[in-house]
Every structure is written in structure tokens, then in C-alpha cells.
Amino acid sequence: MRINPKRKVHNVSGENIVISQIEGTADMTQVVALNESAMLLYNNLRSKDLKVDDIVQVLLDNYDIDESTAHRDAEEWVASMREQGLIID
């Protein structure tokens, strides 16, 4: 899996957001805000093939959490990013 190269993060008034055109018949735009942790992961992993273990390691290196918490958070981050179209296989 990889971070979707078609999606770019923009900083707007101090908020990190991804703006995407939703494909389909209606003209719709999706805006996703990324918090500090999501941006940390995005910036560290955007040019790599993603593995959950890599995400876990970034979390362990940057936060005072145990490995099971980091693994759970990594899985949740991947699921959320996939749901928003920000991670692709």
C-alpha cells in the first residue's frame, strides 16, 4: 500500500487538509483535515511502500506509547486513510 500520489496536502490557515474531487455524476468536493499525528505519518511515509510495522515504528519513535497501542493506532490510521482515498494498494 502507498499514500495516494494524486492527493496533496495543503496548509490553509494553519490546518493541513487534503481537497479531493469526488468522482461521479455530481460535482462534489471532499475535504479531509489531518491532525498532527496523521501529518507525522504522512510526511515520514509518503514516498514509501507502506507496511503497518513501519507505521508502528514511526509512532514508537515519536510518542511515549507501548507497542500494542502503536499497532492499534497504526491499523486505525490505515483504515481511516483508505476510507478517505488517501492510501491505495
Return the pLDDT at 84.
Answer: 87
Which DSSP string do the residues of the chain spell out, in sequence order? -EE-TT--EEEETTEEEEEEEEPSSS-EEEEEEE-HHHHHHHHHHTTS---HHHHHHHHHHHSS--HHHHHHHHHHHHHHHHHTT-EE-
**What is the assigned CATH class of domain 2-88?**
mainly alpha
Q: pLDDT tens for the chain, 89 residues: list them.
A: 999 888 889 999 999 999 876 666 566 678 899 999 999 999 999 888 999 999 999 999 999 999 999 999 999 999 999 998 899 98
| pTM assigned to the model | 0.81
